[in-house]
Structure 1
């Protein structure tokens, strides 16, 4: 699914993204995004799927679906970034199209926030 080098494995990376990063919430998922300074490594992606989503079979299915969706979107993430996707309970019954659409909206919001503002570049206030 995801390349091995792009999987988040360490707890401090999860904590860094969730506690210090930007957040974009949707009904089925919440995305946390953080840029690491002075790090030129591939983006790292992690998933959090709690028991509130369902039993182990349901949680693993949701994780597989999210990993599959993120694999196609990995090239949108800048090098050195951390992304944690936390599934909400509605993710268990959501269709893949809805998960994909909500993931795209969350990523668009987070990536747009990190871009420098082009407003007021002409000297006006």
Structure 2
């Protein structure tokens, strides 16, 4: 419909205590938020995505988090094997 606006694409993050203490969890959340910022344009307009950090995310460096996030988005968007 003309005049209708598409809601923004949004991402949420779930980082449980299994990832680490509060400082580690917040660091992982900040890294994921930063990485998702550049990837939101890849998602269809109005998408809602929840990213769940697995326990190893606390020890992962920035590059590994980026690779894992890219792989997850590829599976999501490409419909690859689960």
Shorter-normalised TM-score: what interval?
A: 0.7 to 0.9
Q: Give the structure 2 partner of residue 84 of structure 1.
A: 50
- Point out 4+ residue stretches in structure 1 off by more than 6 angstroms: none
Preserved contact between residue 7 and residue 46 of structure 2 (Cα < 8 Å): yes
Q: How many residues align?
A: 75
Normalising by the residue count of structure 2, what TM-score does the alignment of the two structures yield? 0.86
Q: CA deviation at 1:77?
A: 1.0
Higher relative contact order (CA 8 A, sep 6+): 2
Deviation of 1:90 after TM superposition, in Å, equals 0.3
Instruction: From the two aligned structures, give the one with the greater helix fraction.
Output: 2
CA-atom RMSD, angstroms?
Answer: 1.2
Q: Which has the larger radius of gyration?
A: 1
Q: Which structure carries more strand by proportion?
A: 1
